[in-house]
Amino acid sequence: MSSGRFADKVVLVTGAGSGIGRATALAFAREGADLVLCDVNEASLEEVSAATRAQGRRALARKVDVSSAAAMQSFADEVHAALSGVDVIVNNAGVAVAGGLRDTTLDDWNWVMGINVMGVVHGCHFFVPRMIERGRGGHVVNIASAAGLAGSRLLLAYATTKFAVVGFSEALREDLRRHRIGVSAICPGFIRTNINEAGRRRGRFAEPAAIERSRRLMERGASPELVAGRIMDAVEQNLGLVPVTKEAHLAYALKRVSPNLLGAIWRRLEAWQAPEL
């Protein structure tokens, strides 16, 4: 028997190789959970798996593209052949596209929608039914963003996907309530991850000066470990919508009480990132 807040639970984390996913996987392991992990980067995934096992926890790790229904089906089949099911699902895998409508290609849209939206849908579609069948409750965590609370032309496509994740999570929370399965939408602000480096930038946002400003902004962001802690709190307390970081709380509050002020703040941030846009 393990000890900790999540002793003897099995937690699935997508996009577990870096950033919020990595921090979340290791945080759950420290609190007694066994892990089911996936990522498209095998090297980073193996590093996280090794760190999980070093804490005395089990880790089943596979390279999986969450945007592929076939890949997620195979992954779920393998997991369910080895385990009765998972107790917590953390749909974390995500990518970013920066740019406005005219600069964002249809390929960009398909890419970001496939990972950020359908990746979350696939995680739920292939793992939640077994959770329901077991009848032991559980929890689903979907990683959204402060950009899912307040839209910005800087992140047109990305914001679209994160609004979708928030809406999906709210509806799913009601759908799964009768099965004692909670659902949380986590909305971080600026977090020190590699999402900018791994993302796509279009138009003026692809210019070196804009990239450098974005890098500096992210460097001042909060740690992924902060988000991991809020995720565990959300699971324990069955929280619905969870802003993380001051700017996310500010966006959430202003969206309700002063959307015009929020819009002005976004425009100032955009002008700082790409002054001549």
Catalytic residues, by residue number, are 158
Q: How far apart are CA 243 and CA 146, in angstroms?
A: 7
- Cα distances from 74 to residues 37, 122, 125, in angstroms, run 14, 12, 13
Residues in the chain, total = 277
| Full 3-state SS string of the chain | CCCCCCCCCEEEEECCCCHHHHHHHHHHHHCCCEEEEEECCHHHHHHHHHHHHHCCCCEEEEECCCCCHHHHHHHHHHHHHHCCCCCEEEECCCCCEEECCCCCCHHHHHHHHHHHCHHHHHHHHHHHHHHHHHCCCEEEEEECCHHHCCCCCCEHHHHHHHHHHHHHHHHHHHHHHHHCEEEEEEEECCECCCHHHHCEECHHHHCHHHHHHHHHHHHCCECHHHHHHHHHHHHHHCCCEEEECHHHHHHHHHHHHCHHHHHHHHHHHHHHHCCCC
What count of other Cβ atoms lies within 10 Å of the Cβ of residue 275?
Answer: 11
